[in-house]
Amino acid sequence: MNISSARPPVPSDDPRWKLVAAAMRRHGHGADALIETLHAVQDAFGYLDDDSLRFVAGSLHAPYSLVYGVATFYQHFTLRPPGKHACVVCMGTACYIKGAQGLVDAVEKRLGIEAGRTTPDGKVSLLTARCLGSCGMAPAAVLDGAMHGKIKTGALIAEVEEWLKHDS
C-alpha cells in the first residue's frame, strides 16, 4: 500500500462503522462519493459529528474544509444533535417490522416534538437512523451513544424520563 492510498482507522469499534465502510466500498472512495458517504454516516448514526467528518475526509482524501462545507451546506445533514441527550431510534427494515415506529411515536408524544427535532429547552434530540448494524437485536436504539437492543417502549420512555428528571 502506498501512502496516498492509506485510509484512517474507523473512529471506534462501533459496529455501525461497518455499514459506513460497506457504503464506501459501494460508492468508491473517490471525492465524488462524498455526499453518498455522508448520507451513509448519518443513516447509521443519526447525525454527523467532528470525528465522523474527519474520518470521511481522511478516507476519501478530501480536504476537511470541503467535507465540513458540504455537511453544513445541505439542510439534510445534522451536525451533532443540539440536545444535551440524544435518542436515535433505528427505522431500518428489521427494526420497523419489530415495532420501531411505535418507539418513535411514544418518544415524540412524551417530548412533544417530531423525530429530527430537539426539545425547546435543548435537553433531548430525537433522531432516526436507517440501520444501526444490529438487526438481530431489533428493535434497536442508541441512547447517548449506548446501543440498546430489543428495547421496549416502556424502557425507552423510562430512559428519557431519567434524562428529564436529572437535568431539571
Binding residues for ligand FES, rule: CB under 6 A, are: 90, 92-95, 131-135, 138, 140
Q: What is d(CA 51, CA 78) in angstroms, rounded to the nearest whole number?
A: 14
Which CB, 132 or 160, lies closer to ligand FES? Answer: 132
Nearer to ligand FES, 34 or 137 (CB): 137
**Nearest partner of 16 among 60, 46, 36, 56, judged by Cα:** 46
Q: How far is the CB of 93 from ligand FES (least distance, A)?
A: 6
Q: Which is nearer to ligand FES, 71 or 95 (CB)?
A: 95
Closer residue to ligand FES (CB): 72 or 93: 93
Q: What's the CA gap between 39 and 113, in Å, rounded? A: 23
Shortest distance, position 29 Cβ to ligand FES, whole Å: 24
Three-class HEC string of 42-79: HHHHCCECHHHHHHHHHHHCCCHHHHHHHHHHCCCCCE
Closest approach, Cβ 84 to ligand FES, in A, equals 25
Q: How far is the CB of 129 from ligand FES (least distance, A)?
A: 8
Question: Nearer to ligand FES by C-beta: 68 or 96?
Answer: 96
CB of 22 to ligand FES, least distance (A): 12
* Separation between Cα atoms, residue 41 and residue 129, nearest integer Å: 9
How far apart are the C-alpha atoms of 93 and 73, rounded to whole Å?
Answer: 29
CA gyration radius, the chain: 17
Position closest to ligand FES via CB: 92
Order of strands across the sheet that contains 117-118: 117-118, 124-129, 85-90, 141-143, 146-148
